[in-house]
Structure 1
Amino acid sequence: MAELQISDITDEDVTAVITLWQRSGLLRPWNDPEKDIAFARSADGATILVGRYDGAVAATAMVGHDGHRGGVYYVSADPDFRGKGFGRTIMQAAEDWLRDRGVWKLNLIVRGSNQQVRGFYEALGYRTTDNVQLERWLDGRAPVETH
């Protein structure tokens, strides 16, 4: 398995991170990645972990907590390096980041139709629960279908 060098995002990483998210198919029209990055970086209980391989951004995970549970978003691995374990490595780094802060539970949100990603998380030991996620946009936007 290739080794990733994991660290927090830097100003110099932002463009490469957004490019990786685009290439990985993570971006949605209703989410502004620059705004999401800036918001995560400004929060006390959040960061964006970047995995570098040969000096280039090859994996990411936005990770944070609310003082009770952790959440991970924007998990990505460079499509050119699939099969090298980068997804597994960046998720382990996200779990370690939470564990180091005393967080004992991690919740994930995965689109129900995304069977490949669900399989990835299940292989890491995550399980589907019978909880229902509710949402409401607080910035005045109309509801968006996110399935």
Structure 2
Amino acid sequence: MTEQHLAIRPFHPSDEAAIIALWHACGLTRPWNDPRKDIARKLTVQSDLFLVGEVDGDIVATLMGGYDGHRGWINYLAVSPSHQRRNYATVLMKAVERKLLEMGCPKINLLIRSDNAAVKAFYDSLGFQEDAVISLGKRLIPDL
């Protein structure tokens, strides 16, 4: 199979339906998180860190990054199941790492589901290590 080039660009509002379909195909959505609201919220803060990967004009990957002045964060890293194992996730991660470094970000944090061994192995391969922390959350605005 010939490797196809992944073109990376910022999110455009017209991408919403394709991106939500991609997130569903990748199993990233959850009933308690409305993906439309997640997108709308992201567009109010550092929208330039919401990256879209295209192959031949088709959206095949996303990454939603952020920087709070202390740590960088990664959310919604997704690659279409039919385009996985082509290095696209790594290309997106390297792109957001460059952007975060330019902003002065010293460290990136991310959360993965504890039963997702394949994703853990991917991040291990990029040099991420498990921190000795407990993740806590509190929802301020319910999406339901």
Q: Structure 2 unaligned runs (5+)? A: none
Select the residue among 98, 117, 120 that pairs with 2:119: 117
Distance in structure 1 (CA, Å) of the matches to 2:129 and 2:13? 35
The reply on whether 1:60 has 2:52 as its aligned counterpart is no
Matches within 5 A, 1:1-147: 1-44=3-46, 47-139=49-141
Distance in structure 2 (CA, Å) of the matches to 1:44 and 1:116? 29
What is the match of residue 145 of structure 1?
Answer: none
Q: Contact between 1:40 and 1:46, CA under 8 Å: does it hold in 2?
A: no
CA-to-partner distance for each residue in 1:82-117, whole Å, 9 max, x for gaps? 111111111111211211211111001011111111
Which residue identity does 1:103 align to in structure 2? C
Q: Contact between 1:46 and 1:62, CA under 8 Å: does it hold in 2?
A: no
Q: Contact between 2:32 and 2:142, CA under 8 Å: does it hold in 1?
A: no
- What is the number of equivalent residue pairs in this alignment? 142
TM-score, normalising length: structure 1:
0.90
Q: Contact between 1:2 and 1:85, CA under 8 Å: does it hold in 2?
A: no
Which residue identity does 2:9 align to in structure 1? S
Q: Structure 1 unaligned runs (5+)? A: 142-147
Q: CA RMSD in A?
A: 1.8
Distance in structure 2 (CA, Å) of the matches to 1:140 and 1:118? 28
Q: Report the alpha carbon displacement of residue 46 of structure 1 after superposing the two structures with TM.
A: 6.2
Aligned-partner SS, 1:42: coil
TM-score, normalising length: structure 2:
0.92
Distance in structure 2 (CA, Å) of the matches to 1:48 and 1:70? 13
Identical residues among aligned pairs (%): 37
CA-to-partner distance for each residue in 1:105-137, whole Å, 9 max, x for gaps? 100101111111111100111011111111111
Aligned-partner SS, 1:130: coil
Q: Report the alpha carbon displacement of residue 138 of structure 1 after superposing the two structures with TM.
A: 1.6
